[in-house]
Structure 1
Amino acid sequence: MSLSANGVEVWRGRGRTLGPVDLVLQPGEVLAVVGPNGAGKSTLLSALAGELRLGAGDVLLEGLPLDRWQPRERARRLAVLPQESSLGFSFTALEVALLGRSPHARRRESGADLEAAYVALEATDTRHLASRPYPTLSGGEKQRVQLARVLAQLSAPLEQGHRYLLLDEPTASLDLAHQHLILEAAGRFAREGGAVLAVLHDLNLAARHAHRLALLAGGRVVEQGTPEQVLRPDLIAETFGLDVVIAEWPGVPGPWVLPARRTDLSS
């Protein structure tokens, strides 16, 4: 059981923007997709979510092509948090979280739906915002409420199969404490049998919270493996154009990436 990209390519016009890519997301893991700007990270996530037309290859959800799934059944297994989520209605934060229950709901939300929404708000430190109108929230608060929505979407246990959560730069608008809180929530989701793919820019956050990294450059996966296997000075220098030092601290999981020399910002 997995979510897999098999020889996936995405073309825009006559240019190939992604691929070919082979990648497997397994239940029980957090996989961080990292790489420089324009590497194809968000394009890969969109391809895995079934949001793009593929130029070649296929994406399989538990062995079945994405377009072979009934929309409701697929939504019970696969949820996506985009970089930005617009909402034109003055829903409360609780109502936004309840939107994630749409694949499960009958005509009206049940007590189980409300419980799932509140649990998701608690996991993202937004339960105290439940009655607040969504448009009045800060950017970081909105991002966390949207994460609560997708967590609520995948909260129901499945009799068969697993749950897959795709996060596109989930920490971009968050302060330091909430960056770690959100990725810790992703880790709990994985420990409970789910699978998480997160596009991240911060290599140290990726090393701290992910089981595996996939490093993209030029639309291709140039390396994948544990943080220790991927975060090598030579590979980072080649991919990002920056000399770095890899450090370790006792009791702190994962390697830490530090610039080898300071940059003179005044020049």
Structure 2
Amino acid sequence: MDDRASGALAGMTALVTGASSGIGRETVRTLAGDGADVVLAARREERLEAIATEVTDAYDVRAEVVPTDVTDPDAVGALVDAARERPDGLDVVVANAGVAAGSDIETMSDEDYRRMMAVNTDGVFYLTRAALPALRESGGHLVYVGSFAGKYPRPYNPVYAATKWWVRGFAKSVSAQVGDDDLGVSIVNPAAVRTEFEVDGKSMADRYAPGEVVDPAEGADAVAFVARQSPSMVHELDLYDRDKLTGF
């Protein structure tokens, strides 16, 4: 029996936004390793193609690349339509795309503010609106990637934190709204993650010592755990040790 046939998500299709780096990229790898066919969405097509080739070769799954700007509602609708056309429909949607820019309120540019709001809130809304009918049909799972910044006051970047408070409140309200339907809605809240985000010119990958923050693969494991559960299970999963955080 091949890896795909033996995986916990064999026969399912998962869509991941923000799939070109960080938790998104590792989530594609992890879900594919569980046997799921994957639909990769982000703006950087070359990176998506490389990851798609990697998981297709490694796990004998199907991988489709759909370059997408999540701030464009028409593009997001087309993305979900493409995923729904897979032979087995759409079973898992991971709303992972997000961005951090700037930090201090007094020096933040209008461009940075609008970009964070557009990607981190508008993009999540557009994806949710487009995906719910498909997930209701399949009895699937919608997984939001939130942040510890959406649970505790965070002076370091108030606007980014505010968008993650929004995501968490939105996820919980969507879960309540579809509570009578056979589909799951959950949110995973990682601590600061070793990603390519840069804040004040310093990469988040280098900001913390080992063990202080979440590695992308750990975040991906949490997302995959949620995706494996029945729709009635798992609503919020936190991934951080507050005692280890030195930059909070």
Taking CA–CA contacts closer than 8 Å with sequence separation of 6 or more, which of the two structures ends up with the larger relative contact order? 1
The structure with the greater share of residues assigned to strand is 1
TM-score by length of 1: 0.34
Structure (1 or 2) with the larger CA radius of gyration: 1
TM-score by length of 2: 0.36
The structure with the greater share of residues assigned to helix is 2
